[in-house]
């Protein structure tokens, strides 16, 4: 009879579908099964190098504060952008403190905390649209960069011609930024070299 043949075919289709789905269903069960051996939960994973963080995030974000007197925001959008920059600066101190980035658990953390404090204060000042407070934070922020660079940036703070290490780059390497009297060229040629 036609009807029962049709029913049989439909049942067959359903069974076929169920069988072809079963590997996927089983895989799903495995994942949600609490007894199965679970993959370790993901941990924070650095994407950029130390140099990338400095050049692409920290340096431009800090400039928003260093130039606040001449580039004072005038619109709501510009103030909002400044809030973002100061928040980025403060939070990137946390990125520096990540276990995979911190060079040690003592001095490095203290130096990064200086930047965290300055960045946090700048974030609140930006929220308050307090230009004077941001200007006053300039020195504290600058010192936070310099403190860590003196401790951890290779050859930072050495003057040319005096005690140059043997593996120092040639003297015709790109000059350090004019804003930094005591910066020396690093070991690599970076696209942008500033000496904070
Ligand atoms: C906790 C440590 C630490 C702090 C704080 C810090 N830096 Fe750095 N910075 C480094 C290290 C380490 C390097 C060298 C990175 C490299 O070459 O691998 C560096 C390098 C740089 C460079 C050169 C990057 C290149 O490849 O040319 C710039 C620019 C820079 N920092 C900007 C800043 C500014 C601006 C601040 C403050 C707002 C700051 N840094 C705060 C550790 C720090």
Q: What is the pLDDT of residue 171?
A: 38
Q: Is 122 in the pocket of ligand 1 (CB under 6 A)?
A: no
The residue whose CA has the least distance to atom 28 of ligand 1 is 54
Confirm if 156 and 185 have CB atoms less than 8 A apart. no
In tens digits, the chain (196 residues) has pLDDT values of 444 555 545 544 444 444 454 555 445 545 555 566 789 999 999 999 999 999 999 999 999 999 999 999 999 999 999 999 999 999 999 999 999 999 999 999 999 999 999 999 999 999 999 999 999 999 999 999 999 999 999 888 775 544 433 333 333 333 344 344 344 333 334 444 455 6
For ligand 1, what atom is nearest to the CA of residue 190? 27
Span from the CA of 89 to the centroid of ligand 1 (angstroms): 12
Span from the CA of 185 to the centroid of ligand 1 (angstroms): 13
Supply the CATH classification number for the domain 50-152. Answer: 1.20.120
The residue whose CA has the least distance to atom 36 of ligand 1 is 145
Task: Find the DSSP H helices in the chain.
Answer: 2-32, 50-52, 59-66, 76-96, 107-127, 131-152
Q: Report which of 187, 157, 159 is spatially closest to residue 173, judged by C-alpha positions.
A: 187
- Residue with tokens 């990540």, as numbered in its chain: 98
Q: What is the pLDDT of residue 155?
A: 84
Contacts of 191 (CB under 8 A, 6+ apart): 55
Q: What is the pLDDT of residue 156?
A: 85
Q: What is the pLDDT of residue 81?
A: 98
Q: Is 153 in the pocket of ligand 1 (CB under 6 A)?
A: yes
Q: What is the reported pTM?
A: 0.71
Q: Is 59 in the pocket of ligand 1 (CB under 6 A)?
A: yes
Distance CA 105, CA 74 (A): 41
Span from the CA of 146 to the centroid of ligand 1 (angstroms): 9
Fill in the DSSP letter of residue 5: H
Q: Is 144 in the pocket of ligand 1 (CB under 6 A)?
A: yes
Contacts of 160 (CB under 8 A, 6+ apart): 171, 184
Q: Report which of 119, 70, 63, 68 is spatially closest to residue 95, judged by C-alpha positions.
A: 119
Q: What is the pLDDT of residue 88?
A: 98
Among 59, 62, 149, 189, name the best residue to mutate to test ligand 1's pocket (greatest count of ligand atoms within 8 A of Cβ). Answer: 149
Q: Report which of 117, 179, 189 is spatially closest to residue 148, judged by C-alpha positions.
A: 117
Q: Is 142 in the pocket of ligand 1 (CB under 6 A)?
A: no
| 133 burial via Cβ count (<10 Å: 0-12, 13-18, 19+) | middle
Residue 188 tokens read as 């690599």
Q: Is 64 in the pocket of ligand 1 (CB under 6 A)?
A: no
Q: Is 79 in the pocket of ligand 1 (CB under 6 A)?
A: no
* Residue 155 falls in which region: left (phi positive, over 0), alpha (psi -120 to 50) or beta: left
């Amino acid at each position: 009879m036609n009807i029962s043949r049709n029913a049989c075919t439909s049942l067959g289709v359903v069974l076929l579908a169920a069988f072809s789905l079963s590997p996927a269903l089983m895989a799903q069960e495995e994942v949600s099964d609490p007894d199965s051996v679970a993959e370790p939960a993901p941990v924070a994973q650095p994407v950029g190098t130390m140099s990338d963080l400095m050049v692409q995030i920290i340096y431009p974000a800090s400039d928003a504060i260093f130039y606040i007197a001449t580039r004072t925001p005038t619109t709501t959008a510009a103030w909002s952008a400044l809030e973002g920059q100061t928040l980025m600066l403060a939070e990137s101190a946390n990125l520096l403190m990540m276990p995979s980035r911190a060079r040690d658990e003592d001095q490095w953390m203290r130096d990064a905390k200086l930047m965290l404090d300055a960045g946090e204060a700048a974030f609140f000042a930006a929220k308050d649209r307090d230009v004077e407070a941001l200007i006053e934070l300039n020195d504290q922020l600058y010192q936070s960069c310099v403190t860590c660079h003196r401790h951890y940036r290779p050859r930072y703070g050495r003057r040319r011609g005096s005690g140059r290490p043997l593996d120092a780059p040639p003297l015709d390497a790109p000059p350090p930024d004019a804003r930094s009297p005591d910066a020396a060229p690093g070991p690599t040629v970076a696209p942008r070299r500033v000496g904070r």
